[in-house]
Chain A
Amino acid sequence: MPIRLEPRAAASRWVRYLAPVASALAAMIAGTLLFFFIGHDPAEAFYVFFVQPVSDLYGLGELFLKTAPILLCATGLAIGFRSNVWNIGAEGQLILGAICGGSLALAFDSVQGWWLLPAMFLAGGIGGMAWATVAAVLRVRFNANEILVTLMLTYIAGLFLSYLVYGPLRSPTGFNWPESTAFHGAARLPRLLDGTRMNAGILLALGVAVAAWVFVRFSYLSYQMEVGGKAVNAARYAGFGRNRMIWLGLLISGFCAGLAGVVEVAGTIGKLREVVSPGYGFAAIIVAYIGRLNPLAIILSSVLMALFFIGGEQAKVSLGVPSAITGIFQGTLLFFLLMSDLLVSYRLTWVGFASNSAEGGGAVDG
C-alpha cells in the first residue's frame, strides 16, 4: 500500500471525542445515500428519518421516551466494558427486569401505594442482576465465555416472557391477546409533559448516568476495574482480583438493564406483552462505544440512537421500509467509529507507490 501508518505519540482529547461526532454524521450521510440507491428521494429520506420525528413537541417527547431505556442499558454496559467484561445480553436482562417489575405490579394490583413503583424498580433491577449473575457464576466458576452465555440467556429470557404472557400472566379479559392486564396508576411512571408520552424514566436514566460518571471518574473501584480491562496481568500484579471485577461488571450492567425493563413496562407500555423492547439492549452496546464508555457522552449517543429508532419507525410508515432497517444505521455508525479510531491512534503518511511493502513500525532492537 502506498500509505504508511505511524502511531501518534498521544491522541489528543478533542480528536477522540470528535471521531464519534464525525462517525454519526457519516452514518447519517451513508444511510441517506442508501435510501437514494434503493430508489427514494434522499432529501425526503433524510427528512423522514432525522427531522420529521422530532419536529414537534410530541416527537421530542418520544425521543426522550426512547432515550431512557437505551441510556440505562448503555451506562451499565459501559462500566462492564471498561473492565473488559463483555455483557452483550443487556436485552435479556432488560426482559427479566420487565418480568420482575411487571409481576410485582400485577401481584399488588389491589394494593396501591407510593411504594409500589420504587419496589418495582428494585425488583426489576434485581431481576436483571440475577440474570447477569448466571453469566457471572459460569464465567468465574467455569470459565464459560460471557459473550455467548449472556446472549443465549437473552433468547431464553425472551421465551420465558412469551411463556408468561401466553400462560400464567395472560389477561383474562384481553380477548386472548398475549398480554397481561394493564397496570394501574400507582404502577405507572408519571408523565412529565402534557401532550407527550415522555415520562419520569428519563430523569431516572439521567440520574443513573451522572452517578455512573462520578463512579468511573473518581472511584478507586472503577480504577481497579479499568486496570483489569486494559491489562489483565497488571491487575493481577496489583492484586485487583479479576473475579471481583467480572462480578461487578456483570451485576452493575444487569441491574441497569433491569431498571430499563421496568421503565419500559411501567412507562411506555403499561403492561407485560410478548415484546417489551425493540432491541434497546443490543443498540446499547453501540451506544456505549459511541460514547467512548464515558457516561456523560453516552447521554448524547443515547439520544442519537433514540433518533435512529424513531426514524426507523417513521420510515416504515412513510417510506414503507421495515423498521429493522435502523439496524443498518446502527451497524454503519459503529463501523465508521471503528474506522475513525484508526485515524485517532495512527497518522497516515503517504509514502508513494515506489516502495513495495511499507513497514510502518516495529521495535528497534527488540
Chain B
Amino acid sequence: MGEGPGQPRLKLRGIHKTYSALVANDRIDLDVMPSSIHAVLGENGAGKSTLMKIIYGVTEADAGTMFWNGAPQPHLSPARARQLGIGMVFQHFSLFPALTVLENILLFAPKGATREELRSTLKTVSAEYGIPVNPDDVVGRLGMGERQRVEIVRCLLQKPKLLILDEPTSVLTPQAAEDLFVMLRRLAANGCSILYISHKLHEVRELCHTATVLKAGRVVATVDPREESEDALARHMLGSMVPAIRHDAAHAGAERMSVLALSRDSEVAGGVGLDDVNLAVRCGEIFGIAGIAGNGQAELLEALSGEWVGAPAECVCLDGAPMGRAGVRARRRAGLVYVPEERLGRGSVPGMPLRRNSLLTTGFANFFRGGLIRQGPVDAFTRRCIEEFDVRPADGTANADALSGGNLQKFIVGRELLQSPKAVIAAQPTWGLDVGAARAIRQLLVDLREDGVAILVVSEDLDELFAICDQIAVLANGCLSEAKSASSTSVEEIGRLMSGRPVAGVGSPLQGGACADQA
C-alpha cells in the first residue's frame, strides 16, 4: 500500500445510492489528501451523511468504488474501516449512554485489550491532545460536548489516518467549537486527514483546506474555501441566494407571557432542572432563548406549555392571569399555541393521516357535536392548513410519517398558527430544514409579531435567533441569563453566556442549582 505524495488517501469514484425514489448520492467522486482538512458542504438533505456512512461502511453503496491509498475496498464494514484507519464521529447515535466512557472505548478496542491497558492509553491520549475525559463517567450523564470529546478520543485511540466528523459543532458553544478547531488543526499537522461535514459556511472557511460542495446528492463544486467568499459558497450550495428576512424595529406592547421565579427538578434521568427562571414576552415581540439542548430547555418548555404543572400558579402568567396550575388545554383556550421540537411523535402522531392530526391541538367548537367528531369541518381546516402553508403532498389522507421533515413542520406550524394565537412558543422551529423552508417559517413568525402576537423561540441556532429575535436570553445549566436586546448584543457575548459557568457539557449536569453568576 503505497502512500506516496500526490496519492489521495481516500478516493471515491462514482458512489451512487438511492433510497426508494430518492437519489441520496448521485455518482459522487471525491479525493481526500493526507494532512488535509476537507469539507463536505451542503444543505440538509444534500446527501452528506449518507456519503459518510458509505465511507465508514455502515451503509452500502448501490454502485461505485472506494479506494484507500489507491487500493479498491469492495466489502466495507465499520470494523474493516476501523482497521484501515478510518474513524468517525457521528452527529447522533454513536455512544452507549448506559455504559461508562471506558466501556464505550473497550467495545471497539482490539481483541485482547484489557481494561487496565485501555485506561492508561486513554490517559496518555487525552493528555497528548489536551482532551480531558474521565474513564469511569457514565456517558448518559455527560453533556453533549463531553460526549463528543469521548467520541473523538475513542477514534484517536485507534490512531486514525482519516477522521470523519459529521456536523460536530451543532452541539457546541462557539468557544468549544474554537477549541475543537485547534485540536483538528493539530491532528492534521500530524498527518491525519479530516473529512469535515457541515453546512456552516464560516466554519468551513475558517478551518478547511478544500471543500466539496454537494447539492441534491451531486457534487457541484470543489473549491478552496479560504479563497471563496461566503456568498460564493452559499451560491454553490443553494444554487441561488435566499432573500433575507424582513425584520422591522419592534413596537412591543403589554406583557403577554411571563415566568416568575420558576424553579423545578427535571423528571427524566440525567435531565437538568430550572433554577429561578424569570422572563417576560411582550405583545409584538420575539423573545429568543439560546443555549445547547439539555440545559433545562425541555423542562422550561414543559412548564410553559402546561405539560408540567408542578409550579405555583403565579409562576407562569398569560395576559396577567396566573396559569401555572392550568393544563395544556386550558392554556390553549387562553390563546397559547406551541410548536414542539419533536415533529413526529409529539407535534404529530405517526401512523395517523393529517386530517386526524389536525384534531390534535385544535378545539374549535364546530369540530364536535355531543362528544363525537364532525370530520367535515376538520377536513376543511386541514385543507386550509395544507393550502396556506404549502404542505406537500397536498393530501389530508397522507400519514404524518410519510411527509418530509420540512413539510410536516409546515403542517404543524400551520395548524398552530391558524388558531389565531395570542402567544406562540416555538422550539427549534427550523432544525434540520432546508434553507427555503426555514426561511418561510422564520418569516411567518416575524409576520405574526407584526400582528402583535408574543412569540418565544427556543433555539440552538444563534444565526436564527439573531435573524428574528428582539430580545435574547441564554439558558445554561438551568439558569436563564438576563435578556438583552438583539441589537445590543453579539454572537460572541451570547456564546460566552452559553458556555456560562459551569460550561454546558463540563461537570455533571446532575449538580442541580450550581449556577454561578453569568454576567
Contact = CB atoms under 8 A, between A and B. Distances in A.
Contacts of A365: 44-50
A236 to B, nearest CB: 5
Interface string B269-307: 000000000000000000000000000000000000111
A239 B346 CA distance: 11
Contact of A230 (B327, B349, B361, B371): B349
B402 A364 contact: no
A6 interface: yes
Contacts of A195: none
B372 A364 contact: no
B19 A234 contact: no
Given A231-B349, A231-B350, A365-B47, A359 B327 contact: no
B209 interface: no
A3 to B, nearest CB: 15
A364 B77 contact: no
Nearest to B45: A365
Given A227-B360, A364-B22, A364-B24, A218 B372 contact: yes
A238 B75 CA distance: 48
Contact of A223 (B92, B167, B356, B398): B356
Interface string A232-254: 01101111010000000000000
Contact of B372 (A220, A227, A359, A362): A220
Given A231-B346, A234-B345, A237-B347, A364 B328 contact: no
B174 interface: no
B241 interface: no
A362 B53 contact: yes
B129 interface: no
Given A237-B338, A239-B328, A364 B345 contact: no
Given A9-B402, A230-B350, A365-B49, A237 B60 contact: no
B399 A238 contact: no
A226 B348 CA distance: 13
A147 interface: no
B77 A357 contact: yes
Nearest to A234: B349
Contact of A362 (B19, B91, B305, B359): B19
A251 B398 CA distance: 33
B395 to A, nearest CB: 10
B367 to A, nearest CB: 8
Given A231-B346, A237-B340, A10 B399 contact: yes
A361 interface: yes
Contacts of A231: 345-346, 349-350
Interface string A349-366: 000000111110111111
Interface in A185-201: none
B20 interface: yes
B82 interface: no
Contact of A366 (B20, B49, B305, B371): B49
A221 interface: yes
A362 B77 CA distance: 16
B352 A230 contact: yes
A144 B307 CA distance: 22
B137 interface: no
B92 A366 contact: yes
Nearest to B395: A10
Given A237-B340, A238-B360, A239-B327, A362 B402 contact: no
Contacts of A238: 328-329, 360-361
A241 B328 CA distance: 10
B387 interface: no
A173 interface: no
Contacts of B332: 239
Given A357-B60, A366-B432, A220 B368 contact: yes
B328 A355 contact: no
Interface in B291-338: 305-307, 327-329, 332, 338
A143 interface: no
B377 interface: no
Best-surrounded residue of A233, A239, A363 (most CB of chain B within 10 A) = A239
Contacts of B231: none
A363 B91 CA distance: 13
A365 B92 CA distance: 11
Interface in B393-428: 398-399, 402
Given A223-B373, A230-B349, A358 B402 contact: no
Given A227-B352, A358-B60, A364-B50, 13 more contacts: A218-B373, A219-B373, A220-B371, A223-B359, A236-B346, A237-B347, A239-B332, A356-B75, A359-B59, A364-B24, A365-B49, A366-B92, A366-B167
Interface of A: 6-7, 9-10, 218-221, 223, 226-227, 230-231, 233-234, 236-239, 241, 355-359, 361-366
9 tightest Cβ-Cβ pairs between the two chains A and B: A239-B328, A239-B329, A233-B346, A365-B49, A218-B372, A364-B24, A231-B345, A231-B349, A234-B349
27 contacts: A9-B402, A10-B398, A10-B402, A219-B371, A223-B373, A230-B349, A230-B352, A231-B350, A233-B345, A233-B346, A234-B345, A234-B346, A236-B346, A237-B328, A237-B340, A237-B347, A237-B360, A238-B329, A238-B360, A356-B60, A358-B60, A363-B49, A364-B19, A364-B22, A364-B45, A366-B49, A366-B91
